[in-house]
Amino acid sequence: MGYRRGGLYSYDWLDRLFGFLDAPSAERVLVEFQRLKVGDVIPVGRGAGFPVKAIEPFRTLVLGGDTNGFQWTWQFGLYLVNGRLTRLVSRNRAHIPTTVGSTLFMCVLEPAAFVMTRKMLLGLKHRAEAAAAQNHDAAKHAA
């Protein structure tokens, strides 16, 4: 995930419009970028990137930052439902300054973030399912 990595798996035109990416997101999971650790920063084209605050492999990735009184965390969680089904959940928590400017900014940011996050989750789902199907086929051929 990130600039010059897999991308953001959202709407490519919006990622470009907001300056996050300058190329479409990867169509598949890129194995070479799957090793993150706390303290790494996922680059995005604009801004300081997404610092990794916590990680539990195959379970949780928490990104977060603290800039100008705006504290945010963004968690991706994987929850096993059964042997074939997993839930992918995105959760955001933020403390924003209680000013008119911040409130108006969030009124604009919230719906835009929803549109992009929804597409990102569906993009992750699509890529994860494709990778799982590929692994399944490879195992079948090997047997």
The answer to whether 94 contacts other proteins (rule: CB under 8 A) is yes
Task: Pick the closer one to other proteins by CB: 16 or 86.
Answer: 86
Which of 4, 28, 46, 95 is close enough to bind other proteins by CB under 8 A?
95
Closer Cβ to other proteins, 111 or 143, answer by number: 111
Going from the C-alpha of 77 to that of each of 48, 55, 57, 63, 138, the distances in angstroms are 23, 10, 10, 12, 27
> Contact between 136 and other proteins (CB under 8 A)?
no
Between CA 66 and CA 53 the distance in angstroms is 11
Q: What gap in Å lies between CA 17 and CA 44, rounded to an integer? A: 13
Q: Which is nearer to other proteins, 83 or 111 (CB)?
A: 111
- Other beta carbons within 10 Å of 102: 15
Residue 44's identity, in one-letter code, is V
Q: Is 85 in the site for other proteins (CB under 8 A)?
A: yes
- The nearest distance, CB 47 to other proteins, in angstroms, is 18
6-65: which residues touch other proteins (CB under 8 A)? Answer: 53-54, 56, 60, 62, 64
Distance CA 70, CA 96 (A): 5
Single-letter amino acid code for the residue at 135: N
Neighbouring C-beta atoms of residue 70, cutoff 10 Å: 14
Applying CB under 8 A, which residues contact other proteins? 53-54, 56, 60, 62, 64, 66, 71, 73, 75, 77, 79, 81, 85-96, 98, 106, 110-111, 113-114, 117-118, 121-122, 124-125, 128-129
